[in-house]
Amino acid sequence: MRPAVIAATGLYTPPESISNAELVAAFNAYVADFNQTNAARISAGEIEPLAPSSVEFIEKASGIKARYVVEKAGIIDPKIMRPVIPERPNEEISILAEIAVKAAEQALERWGKPRERIGAVLCAASNMQRGYPAMAIEVQNALGLGGFAFDMNVACSSATFGLKTAADFVGSGSVDAVLMVNPEICSGHLNFRDRDSHFIFGDVATAAIVERADDAQDGWDILGTKLKTQFSNNIRNNFGFLNRAAPEGRDLPDKLFVQQGRKVFKEVVPMVSEMIIDHAAELGIDPHGLKRLWLHQANINMNEIIGRKVLGREPSREENVIILDDYANTSSAGSIIAFHKYSDDLKSGDHGLICSFGAGYSAGTVFVKKR
């Protein structure tokens, strides 16, 4: 296998952000309205009143303080509580491809090489806007790239699965360089009326270029990649093309993100910590010597436990990067945002880890060394 490097990354952050206070105000207005409208049924014991959300709970349980979204007004309107995104004609670029292209343009600019060298485009994300044509082909077309392109979805782990796929394509000699994009419009798939999860996600797009090591002047050597999946019903998205065929009706059902957050926390933390330590041992890397962790950004408490187990000490914020306070969980993009924003300062020879984990369950580890 030819060695591969992560040569450049890109990030597109939507301009609008929602603070916890704004989100909770909208949720609690909805709850007050619901409880008032249903007061008779609630006092008759037919239904339970809805409980309010709280800023303090959200911050303590998750570490999230705000989230960027592609459309704010609809989400924080208690009568709407979802992003309002008009459909676009087929002749216009779709919004998911549009944000992917913005991140990709930044990665291509930072790379600084002719884009003709890109031989493949991967769109690796949790939710694709449609079945086909592939989002990746739309992105390839918008950027004027050649080669081939396809979509892949491994939920929150899509980006590490994408990096491995890219490194393997480059390693086998199929192509010299791959562009991977991770457009995540999580707000489109989030139930903003669900107290347990209304605060969890945000929107963003990231991009990474993986190329042959002997073509690269700088960047990050990919020392090893490992993927793991293990079936679990604890995080689900049941939205799909067969929903409309369900016998109970043809209306689009409300099949949104649901999870058993506490179970996910308990099961995924040991699975991922062990995977990282085992993979490091296989590669002959001392995990205690890692200069930086760019972990999946779902929950600050999860990342602190994993960080302690992997590094064998209390990691500083510089060592164990957290971006979920500003971005919330951006699914596959989280670890790439962390890497993009907090990697330039490391020195040649420094080792680090990009790691994702999420629905499936799925997890991926990518050990890198600064050139």
Least distance to ligand CO8 from the beta carbon of 315, Å? Answer: 19
Number of residues binding to ligand CO8, judged by CB under 6 A: 28
> Given the rule CB under 6 A, which of 146-154, 185-193, 313-321, 338-346 is the region that contacts ligand CO8?
185-193
Least distance to ligand CO8 from the beta carbon of 248, Å? Answer: 24
Amino acid at 296: H
User: In whole angstroms, what is the distance from residue 20 CA to residue 14 CA?
Assistant: 17
Q: Under the criterion CB under 6 A, does residue 358 sit at the interface with ligand CO8?
A: yes
Question: Of residues 123, 156, 186, 355, which has the active-site annotation?
Answer: 156
How far apart, in Å, are the Cα atoms of 48 and each of 31, 42, 199, 219?
Answer: 12, 6, 22, 56
22 versus 221: smaller Cβ distance to ligand CO8? 22
> Given the rule CB under 6 A, which of 132-140, 174-182, 188-196, 310-318 is the region that contacts ligand CO8?
188-196
8 Å CB contact between 26 and 77: yes
User: In whole angstroms, what is the distance from residue 173 CA to residue 167 CA?
Assistant: 10
65 versus 212: smaller Cβ distance to ligand CO8? 65
8 Å CB contact between 96 and 185: yes
Q: Under the criterion CB under 6 A, does residue 334 sit at the interface with ligand CO8?
A: no
User: In whole angstroms, what is the distance from residue 205 CA to residue 127 CA?
Assistant: 12
Residues 200-219 as x/- pattern, contact with ligand CO8 by CB under 6 A: -x------------------
- By CB under 6 A, name the one of 20, 62, 273, 335 that touches ligand CO8: 62
Q: Under the criterion CB under 6 A, does residue 272 sit at the interface with ligand CO8?
A: no
User: In whole angstroms, what is the distance from residue 352 CA to residue 280 CA?
Assistant: 11
Q: 């996600």: which residue's tokens? A: 201
8 Å CB contact between 275 and 226: yes
186 versus 353: smaller Cβ distance to ligand CO8? 186
Q: Under the criterion CB under 6 A, does residue 156 sit at the interface with ligand CO8?
A: yes
Active site residue 156: yes
Alpha carbon 371 to chain centroid distance?
Answer: 26
Q: Under the criterion CB under 6 A, does residue 61 sit at the interface with ligand CO8?
A: yes
Q: Under the criterion CB under 6 A, does residue 265 sit at the interface with ligand CO8?
A: yes
126 versus 320: smaller Cβ distance to ligand CO8? 126
- By CB under 6 A, name the one of 92, 109, 196, 286 that touches ligand CO8: 196
Q: Under the criterion CB under 6 A, does residue 298 sit at the interface with ligand CO8?
A: yes
User: In whole angstroms, what is the distance from residue 98 CA to residue 111 CA?
Assistant: 20
User: In whole angstroms, what is the distance from residue 360 CA to residue 231 CA?
Assistant: 5
Token pair of 102 as six digits: 């913005």
Cβ-in-10-Å burial (0-12, 13-18, 19+) of 132 comes to: exposed
Q: Under the criterion CB under 6 A, does residue 31 sit at the interface with ligand CO8?
A: no
Cβ-in-10-Å burial (0-12, 13-18, 19+) of 231 comes to: exposed
Least distance to ligand CO8 from the beta carbon of 80, Å? Answer: 17
Q: Tell me the residue ranges of DSSP E strands in 230-291.
A: 235-236, 258-259
Least distance to ligand CO8 from the beta carbon of 185, Å? Answer: 8
Least distance to ligand CO8 from the beta carbon of 306, Å? Answer: 11
Q: Under the criterion CB under 6 A, does residue 57 sit at the interface with ligand CO8?
A: yes
Amino acid at 336: I
64 versus 222: smaller Cβ distance to ligand CO8? 64
Q: Under the criterion CB under 6 A, does residue 261 sit at the interface with ligand CO8?
A: yes
Contacts of 203 (CB under 8 A, 6+ apart): 14, 67, 68, 69, 70, 99, 184, 185, 186, 187, 330
Least distance to ligand CO8 from the beta carbon of 6, Å? Answer: 22
Instruction: Show which residues are catalytic.
Output: 156
Binding site for ligand CO8 (CB under 6 A): 53-54, 57-58, 61-62, 126, 155-156, 186, 189-190, 195-196, 201, 235, 257, 259, 261-262, 264-265, 298-299, 329, 331, 358-359
